[in-house]
Homo-oligomer: A and B are copies of this chain.
């Protein structure tokens, strides 16, 4: 991981996994990572994928995105503030540009201090709408 970060070894598998997560159009699950690696003939043991994902999480190179299904998905931490759209039909997740939340105060009327927020939209994605 970037320049031997904290004594970690740079291996083919780790590069591949980080690359898959970084180049996906939205957050991906462990299964999707495994599938994508298989698709390009770079099959990797599932245990390695889990271990690598946890390693990347620990080093904050990726973060976990949790939507309405039970699946944990991962995305790079170095992308700008954004939110997600989750298709109810094909189950894919898309990144959305910008932020739809107009919240100017950092303290809510209930008195809680807000440090961050997450928004998830659900519905039917463009592709599913067009093919129906």
Residues in chain A within 8 A of chain B (CB atoms): 64, 66-68, 70, 72, 85, 87-88, 94, 96-97, 100-103, 106, 108-126, 129
Contacts and interface: CB of A to CB of B under 8 A. Distances in A.
Given A94-B110, A102-B102, 12 more contacts: A64-B68, A66-B66, A70-B72, A87-B112, A96-B110, A97-B109, A106-B123, A110-B126, A111-B126, A112-B123, A112-B129, A113-B125
A115 B111 contact: no
State the copy count for this chain. Answer: 2
27 contacts: A64-B68, A66-B66, A66-B68, A66-B70, A87-B112, A88-B115, A96-B108, A97-B109, A97-B110, A100-B101, A100-B102, A110-B126, A111-B125, A111-B126, A111-B129, A112-B123, A112-B125, A112-B129, A113-B125, A114-B123, A115-B123, A116-B122, A116-B123, A117-B120, A117-B121, A117-B122, A118-B120
